[in-house]
A and B are shown apart, each in its own frame.
Chain A
Amino acid sequence: MPSWVLSATVFSPLAGAVLVALLPRRDGLLRTVAILTTLLPLALAGWLFWQAPLGEAGFWLTERGLWVPAVGIGYHLGVDGISLPLVALTAFLFPVALVGTWDAVRTRVKEYLVLLLLLETAVLGTFLALDLLLFYVFWEAVLVPMYFLIGLWGSERRAYAALKFFLFTMAGSVLMLLAIAGLYLATGTLDFLRLLGAELPAQGWLFAAFAVAFAIKVPLFPLHTWLPDAHTEAPTAGSVILAGLLLKMGTYGLVRFCLTLFPEVARAAAPLFMALGVVGILYGAAVAYTQPDVKRLVAYSSVSHLGFVVLGTFVLNPQGLAGALLQMVNHGISTGALFLLVGVLYERAHTRDMDAFGGVARVMPTFAALSLFVVFSSAALPGTNGFVGEFLVLLGAFRKDPRWAALAAGGVILSAVYLLWMVQRVYFGPVRPEVRTFAPLRPHEGAALVALVLAVLWIGLYPRPWLARSEAAVQSLVQRVASVAEAASPGWGGRP
């Protein structure tokens, strides 16, 4: 398989963005071109997924070049079992989000599409970059398009939410930038593969700097306060991408960098992260239950679900980590779909207040049926993808300490409670007069939801292809963390 596939995957949306920028302002044409563009990375990611060698732990396809030779900083992309599922998820969610929200945005369509395509390049680059500075460039490049997507096409409090989103993320990531600079000074390289073999100084501080940046993005309790605002105010496609993909950048970073580069510190810090993960699961679920705003409810459910991912990551056993990886994909699909549902409702009602709905199932039966699948997936009912992921995480947690598993399982129950309560209030009960006039599900909305539900069922009923592709990488990472001698506990000052 040629290595340019990676670059082509990352930069094809950028090329599409340039094309869209140059085309005349005919909205339908621009939307069509943008959607066709996103099919390119989808096809390439599909090829990568298909071709992925099973049982290969390392990076099975890499692409290297010099980027800034003067300071030895490389252009290095690579894919392994940990990044592949996320690349596939990214390539899948963008076309789905674009199709699902076909004409939801009617002002400045060109700018909107250009920003979304730039965003896709940045997200794909984040998951594939193997040079730390390149990673940082993609990581930060996500912020500006998202800032404008929230700030220009969001709802009432968009300016506030956009700035809050930006400031929180940036505050965390500049510390990571300093840590990257420190790594560079200590080792003379920022190549991920070379750093794996290098002696790293002051690991405690470096780990902390990376971890804070990622924890804000995840977001881990108590750094989550930007999330409800940003998710709620963003336009539908923005929310889908934000929840589905941008949060995964945080959990991916934790696995890829915190765990892999600083295994000793990660082990020492694991109880803290597990505790924060469990608190996040319960807190997010409890707060979601109290939200009268459907979109805010979904936003808080993300805090809860991402808690599972962090818990699974830091139990540091194969089941937990495999579950965490799969749960990243699952959350992307199910929460992306939930935001799409809210978008469909909002298009018709122009409100997100749960009290304004009731009896939607009678008026839009197809929509309600599809919605149920999505809700079941988010609530992790057996047969859906959420069940597989959360079950593996709970299994891993149980092996570590049954008490963690018991607490986290409480979160599963709570999520069923708030989600089903939401379903009951919105979809069932007497049909409210406003709801009676709702237009039926439109073809593009239906198509996007059907695609998402198919993904839910695929992973729910036959998760093997996904698990098999990350199995070897997960095993090797767990071994790497486990093989670190217990005696060499580094503390905050790092190794002598």
Chain B
Amino acid sequence: MSLDLRPLFPELAVVAASLVALVGDVFVRGPRARMAWPVAGVVAVSVAGVLVWRAGDAAFGSLYARDALGNALQAVALAVAAVGLLLARDYLVRTGLDRGEYYALVLLSTVGAMLMVASQDLLFLFVALETLSLPLYVLAGFARDSHRSQEASLKYFLLGSFASALLLYGVALVYGVAGSTALSRLAEADASFPLLVGLGLVVVGLGFKAAVVPFHAWAPDVYEGAPVPAVAFMSVVAKVGAVGALLRILPATVPHLLSAWQPLLAALSAATMLVGNLAALRQTNLKRMLAYSSVAHAGYLLIGVAAGSDAGVWSAVYYLAVYGAMKLGAFGVLTFLERAGVEADEVEDLRGLADRSPAAAAAFAVFMASLTGLPPTAGFVGKFYLFTAALEAGLLWLALVAVATSVVSVAYYLRAAYTAYLGPARAGVRVLRAPWAGVGLGLSAGATLLFGVLPGPLTSWAQRVAALLR
């Protein structure tokens, strides 16, 4: 049996870039040379991104297949990694964390997400999930001198391991019933109690990664403690991997069991939207607020999964891309702020931002509007697609919960955007110059507006994914 590695070329390129960053760090010294890492990382990531488009349908064993859904979500993951690295650079230099490992970990985690969304086997999915997660645990604790960061890392690791174990147990149950962990066999399995329990546990494991209620409790603490650029990256990449895997396992593999899993997913989605948005209302810490917003958005993304239709799948893919842009941007603005030498992470710290950096304040307003789902931003278009998919699937109640929670979310998103336009600035808060992060922010804001004003191309692209799924 020959081992054809060609379909894996993009993943291999990213792994190679991460190894270069890891090994090269030992040899290269001096601040100027270090500029090479983000550049190298971004370039490798972009090259791999291009390759994703050129790769064919060739399969690698029966564990991994390069198909439309995988390609699309891999492209999203790569874009997220590229922007995530751009946002990180200035922050890391400033805080003395500018080490090659950071770039290596980001890239390795990206590989995990890429493998996850392309896996055709539950066991392979588990391995990919761990590849995604382990670097994220380390990234959460990357600020080695900060107790908060260490605490976040440990918490994330312990709870994450627990969720991984549940997922593995679910895989075992599915194996017991279907006689295989391959998705192709799962697609033919009849409904039975152990199978459904197994699938349920897999959903729990993935739900933990995506911060779905009631498995979300880690998110606010981890987001609050971890370094901002790491949070920006992990809040998106974990969702790309987890929601991508859910789309692949549920609507794409077991549509015949829809009546069994749809109520569960719809209930999870509704609970996630409600808890996330209501909890975010009470936050005064911006990172915690964005953490709960991230929880809430897991709920919106789950609408696409719960709908179980083609429209649901492509709406979720669309929203993942949009979510990446707006969430990276929202956290990205935070990398510009500093209070007394540490991260400025209170909502009140935004005061006066408009006077000191009008562009950052305007971008922040765009991200907040998009997270709320207001036109003409991409968040609106994405939510419209998701709501329509819910209605089409007969889930009117879920759509009502979604719109009601969107209205609630206005209060905290707009409050944050509004604060950025109030003056004067809080004592001790500085707005830093960060050209690299500025580029990342510009890209995110551009994408958020572009996909909102001209949603056509991205929509057709996402739709092709769903059409090729069956």
Tell me the A residues contacting B by CB distance below 8 Å: 66-71, 108, 111, 133, 136-138, 140-141, 143-144, 147-148, 151-152, 159, 162-163, 166-167, 170-171, 174-175, 177-178, 181-182, 184-185
B387 touches A141 (CB 8 A): no
Q: Do residues A143 and B374 form an inter-chain contact, with CB atoms below 8 A?
A: yes
Q: Cα distance A138–B375 when bound, in Å?
A: 8
Closest A residue to B406 using CB positions: A174
Which of A66, A133, A174 is the most central at the interface, judged by chain B CB atoms within 10 Å of its CB?
A: A174
Find chain B residues with CB under 8 A from A167 CB: 407, 410-411
Please tell me which one of the listed residues B354, B358, B374 contacts residue A140 in the complex, with CB atoms under 8 A apart.
Answer: B374
Beta-carbon contact of A178 and B418 below 8 Å: no
B392 is contacted by which of A166, A170, A171, A185 (Cβ under 8 Å)? A185
Closest partner residue, chain A, to B388 (CB atom): A181
Q: Min CB distance, A258 to chain B, in Å?
A: 20
For B411, the chain A residues whose CB sits under 8 A away are: 163, 167
- Chain A nearest CB from B366 CB (Å) reads 10
- Whether B407 and A148, one on each chain, are in contact in the complex, defined by CB atoms closer than 8 angstroms, is no
- How far, in angstroms, from A66 to B455 measured CA to CA in the complex? 11
Within 8 A of A (CB), among B364-421: 365, 369, 374-376, 380-381, 384-385, 387-388, 391-392, 399-400, 403-404, 406-407, 410-411, 414-415, 418, 421
Select one of B354, B380, B415 contacting A108, CB under 8 A: B354
Task: Decide if A151 touches B391 in the complex (CB within 8 Å).
Answer: no
CB distance from A320 to the nearest CB of B (A): 33
Nearest A-chain residue to B408, judged by Cβ: A167
> If A68-B456, A137-B376 touch, does A178 touch B410 (CB 8 Å cutoff)?
no
- One of B374, B399, B415, B455 near A144 (C-beta < 8 A): B374
The answer to whether B387 and A111 touch across the interface, beta carbons within 8 angstroms, is no
B460: interface (CB < 8 Å): yes
Write the nearest CB–CB distance from A439 to chain B, whole angstroms: 29
Q: What residues on A are CB-neighbors of B381 within 8 Å?
A: 68
Chain B hits for A184, CB < 8 A: 388
B407, A170: Cβ atoms closer than 8 Å = yes
Which residues of B415-470 have CB atoms within 8 Å of chain A's CB atoms? 415, 418, 421-422, 455-456, 459-460, 463
Hey, which chain A residues are within 8 Å of B459, CB to CB? Answer: 68, 70-71
Q: How far is the CB of A243 from chain B (nearest CB, A)?
A: 22
Contact bitstring B345-358, A, C-beta under 8 A = 1, else 0? 00000000010001
- A66 CA to B459 CA in the complex, in Å? 13
B456 lies within 8 A of A133 (CB):
no
B interface, CB within 8 angstroms of A: 354, 358, 365, 369, 374-376, 380-381, 384-385, 387-388, 391-392, 399-400, 403-404, 406-407, 410-411, 414-415, 418, 421-422, 455-456, 459-460, 463
Contact partners of B369 in chain A: CB under 8 A: 144
Bound complex: CA A152 to CA B419 (Å) = 10
A-B pairs under 8 A by CB, number: 83
- Whether A151 and B418, one on each chain, are in contact in the complex, defined by CB atoms closer than 8 angstroms, is yes
B391 interface neighbour in A70, A143, A147, A178, Cβ under 8 Å: A178
Smallest CB separation, A59 vs chain B (Å): 23
CB distance from B418 to the nearest CB of A (A): 5
On whether the beta carbons of B456 and A70 are closer than 8 Å, the reply is yes
Measured between alpha carbons, how far is A143 from B365 in the docked complex, in Å? Answer: 13
- Residue of B374, B384, B411 with most partner-chain A CB within 10 A: B384
Q: What are 13 sample pairs from A and B whose C-beta atoms fall under 8 A apart?
A: A67-B455, A68-B381, A70-B463, A137-B380, A143-B374, A148-B421, A152-B421, A152-B422, A174-B404, A174-B407, A177-B384, A177-B387, A185-B392
> A171: which B residues are within 8 A, CB to CB?
407
Q: How far is the CA of A74 from the CA of B354 in the complex (A)?
A: 36
Q: Is the CB of A136 within 8 A of B388?
A: no
Question: What's the minimum C-beta distance from A15 to chain B, rounded to whole angstroms?
Answer: 14
Q: Smallest CB–CB gap between B456 and chain A, Å?
A: 5
Instruction: Give the nearest-CB partner of A138 in chain B.
Output: B375
Q: By the criterion CB–CB under 8 Å, are B388 and A68 in contact?
A: no
B9 to chain A, nearest CB (A): 30
Other than A69-B460, A148-B418, A151-B418, give 8 A-B pairs with Cβ distance below 8 A.
Answer: A69-B456, A70-B460, A71-B459, A140-B374, A140-B380, A141-B374, A167-B407, A177-B384
**Of all chain A residues, which has the CB nearest B396?**
A178
Q: Determine whether the beta carbon of A177 is less than 8 Å from that of B403.
A: yes
Taking CB atoms, residues of chain A closer than 8 Å to B422 are 152
* Chain A neighbourhood of B404, CB < 8 A: 174
